[in-house]
Amino acid sequence: MVKRALITGITGQDGPYLAKLLLSKGYKVYGTYRRTSTPNFWRLQQLGIIHRITLIPADLSDMSSLLEAVTTADPHEIYNLAAQSFVGNSFDAPLLTTEIDGSGATRFLEIIRHLGKNIKFYQASTSELYGATRQSPQNENTPFSPNSPYAAAKLYSFHMTRIYRNAYGIFACNGILFNHESPLRGLEFVTRKITNSVAKIKLGLQKELRLGNLETKRDWGFAPEYVHAMWLMMQQKKADDFVIATGETHSVGEFAQEAFAAAGLDWRTYVKADQRLLRPLDVTHLCGDPSKAGRVLDWKPKVTFGELVKLLVRADMERWQKYLNGEIFAWDAPNYPSELDIVSRTVSREGKKPATKIAKLIGRLHRG
Ligand code: NAP
Ligand code: G4F
């Protein structure tokens, strides 16, 4: 029997890697995408799988489109990866983030419950749930303490996944994934922002790199290995929740130092701290303990921090070199505006005041 999988968020970082893995295992893969005025399929093109996937338009905020997607795909497994996944943006759009990242999962769980079929459900949970915790490393028993609208929304979907598992016997699991990166990572995330800038600086296309909090620490792994863990969770006899991480943590500053060094550059010459890039509230220390995944799933990370940084720098260098040689290929960087040109409503407590006149107006309206 050919297994069918439905992946939401097929145009993001993880969706295409997971789709590629499932295709290699003989699955028929359906992926949901949002209709946009400009198509956004470069990652599927980059992995060479765009023509092997059946695409279905659907939005996590629209129940009927999700119902349509599930009835069209008739999946054995649903991987819910779609999200407003940028933590910084969740401070600018808290309600939208709640709608997608919080209620989205419940919509799928309700569809599965009503259809009464044995559809397995994977929810993309996150290490951001640990937020302000002082416990380190974090495992499946560490109390959650979300520090952003994104994390609060994801906490709701984490619990709904657990509740539907226990209340209705649905095979529903949470992958509590720590940060994972790849050449397909979005440019607004700090890793890819750094490696893309390193490549441009090395090739004389950029002069400096502005970053926010350099002290904050993350446990960074390699995305293709993490999607494998998602699949393993769905093949177990019993649904459960798992931390997926490397067990090693590094600061943003260390990441930048390593990335510039990989291109033979000294990071101190180019990196400038910019208050405008600080978040109103940040998560300062994440380090995961993946021992349960090792024990139960036989999953272990292989790519080390040093290897990860080097492979990201290499990928961005190759892209910019190809671009300078006039090669035309699908890729995000040439179209991405400087994020400092994108007006943000929120600024950090250090930065104090709202960034725009409109924000002041909104502030006044709120104060009545
Ligand atoms: P990503 O690159 O930001 O991709 C997010 C995907 O969600 C995109 O395909 C996006 O579509 C889609 N999406 C956004 N809003 C949607 C909506 N309203 N309806 C339908 N689709 C929507 O994220 P990722 O890095 O692949 O992460 C996958 C999932 O894992 C996310 O849920 C994220 O929160 C979670 N997670 C990620 C990490 C990590 O380090 N990467 C760690 C823990 C958890 P567009 O292309 O149209 O925007
Ligand atoms: O790369 P980031 O934006 O990722 P963040 O906030 O950790 O979230 C990512 O990982 C989560 C898992 O823990 C996912 F759930 C989530 O969907 C997403 O994939 O920021 C990492 C750190 C933050 O502390 C941020 O303040 O880097 C700091 N940082 C410093 N300068 C910066 C910058 N982050 C960004 N994006 N841009 C900067 O210039």
Q: CATH number, domain at 161?
A: 3.40.50.720
Cα of 75 vs centre of ligand 2, distance in Å, is 32
The string of pLDDT tens digits covering residues 69-106 is 999 999 999 999 999 999 999 999 999 999 999 999 99
Residue 292 lies in a domain: no
Cα of 65 vs centre of ligand 2, distance in Å, is 30
β-strands 77-80, 217-218 pairing: unpaired
- Find out whether 5 and 77 touch, Cβ atoms under 8 Å: yes
Residue range 159-178: mean pLDDT, rounded: 98
Cα of 9 vs centre of ligand 1, distance in Å, is 5
Is the shortest distance between the CB of 84 and ligand 1 below 6 Å?
Answer: yes
Task: Please tell me the chain's helix, strand, coil percentages from 3-state DSSP, rounded to the nearest 5.
Answer: 45, 15, 40
pLDDT of amino acid 179:
98
Residue 294 lies in a domain: no
pLDDT of amino acid 338:
80
What are the tokens at 166?
Answer: 């226990």
159 and 173 in a single domain? The answer is yes
Residue 167 lies in a domain: yes
131 and 234 in a single domain? The answer is yes
The string of pLDDT tens digits covering residues 192-201 is 999 999 999 9
269 and 323 in a single domain? The answer is yes
74 and 96 in a single domain? The answer is yes
Going by alpha carbons, the residue nearest to atom 28 of ligand 2 is 213
Cα of 255 vs centre of ligand 2, distance in Å, is 12
Ligand nearest 283 Cα, by number? 2
- Find out whether 69 and 5 touch, Cβ atoms under 8 Å: no
Dist. CA 149–CA 280, nearest whole Å: 11
The string of pLDDT tens digits covering residues 106-153 is 999 999 999 999 999 999 999 999 999 999 999 999 999 999 999 999
Strands (E) located in the chain: 4-8, 28-33, 54-57, 77-80, 120-126, 172-177, 180-181, 209-211, 217-218, 221-222, 242-244, 250-251, 271-273
Provide CB contacts within 8 A for 340, sequence distance 6+: 210, 274, 276, 277
Residue 345 lies in a domain: yes
Residue range 331-339: mean pLDDT, rounded: 86
Is the shortest distance between the CB of 15 and ligand 1 below 6 Å?
Answer: yes
For a substitution probing ligand 2, which of 13, 211, 252 has the most ligand atoms within 8 Å of its CB?
252
pLDDT of amino acid 340:
76
236 and 281 in a single domain? The answer is no
202 and 69 in a single domain? The answer is no
- The CATH number assigned to the domain holding 324 equals 3.90.25.10
- Percentage of the chain exceeding pLDDT 70: 93
Dist. CA 164–CA 116, nearest whole Å: 13
25 and 129 in a single domain? The answer is yes
162 and 30 in a single domain? The answer is yes
280 and 226 in a single domain? The answer is no
For the chain, the average pLDDT equals 93
Residue 194 lies in a domain: yes
97 and 236 in a single domain? The answer is yes
Q: Could you identify the atom of ligand 2 that is nearest to the CA of residue 188? A: 36
The count of domains in the chain is 2
In the chain, the amino acid numbered 226 is Y
317 and 328 in a single domain? The answer is yes
Burial of 130 per CB tally in 10 Å (0-12, 13-18, 19+): buried
Question: Is pLDDT above 60 for 345?
Answer: no
Residues with a catalytic annotation lie at 126, 128, 150
Is the shortest distance between the CB of 146 and ligand 1 below 6 Å?
Answer: no
Cα of 213 vs centre of ligand 2, distance in Å, is 10
Residue range 12-38: mean pLDDT, rounded: 97
What are the tokens at 244?
Answer: 């997926």
The string of pLDDT tens digits covering residues 226-247 is 999 999 999 999 999 999 999 9
Residue 93 lies in a domain: yes
Report the predicted TM-score, pTM, of the whole model to 2 decimal places. Answer: 0.95
Dist. CA 65–CA 252, nearest whole Å: 39
pLDDT of amino acid 321:
97
Is the shortest distance between the CB of 301 and ligand 1 below 6 Å?
Answer: no
pLDDT of amino acid 337:
82
Residue 281 lies in a domain: yes
**Range of the structural domain that residue 89 is part of:** 4-181+221-244
Going by alpha carbons, the residue nearest to atom 4 of ligand 1 is 12
For a substitution probing ligand 2, which of 81, 97, 157, 190 has the most ligand atoms within 8 Å of its CB?
190
Residue 168 lies in a domain: yes
Characterise 137 by phi-psi region: left (phi > 0), alpha (psi -120 to 50), beta (else): beta
Q: Could you identify the atom of ligand 1 that is nearest to the CA of residue 60? A: 19
Is the shortest distance between the CB of 19 and ligand 1 below 6 Å?
Answer: no
210 and 177 in a single domain? The answer is no
Is the bond preceding 137 in cis, omega lying within 30 degrees of 0?
yes
pLDDT of amino acid 336:
85
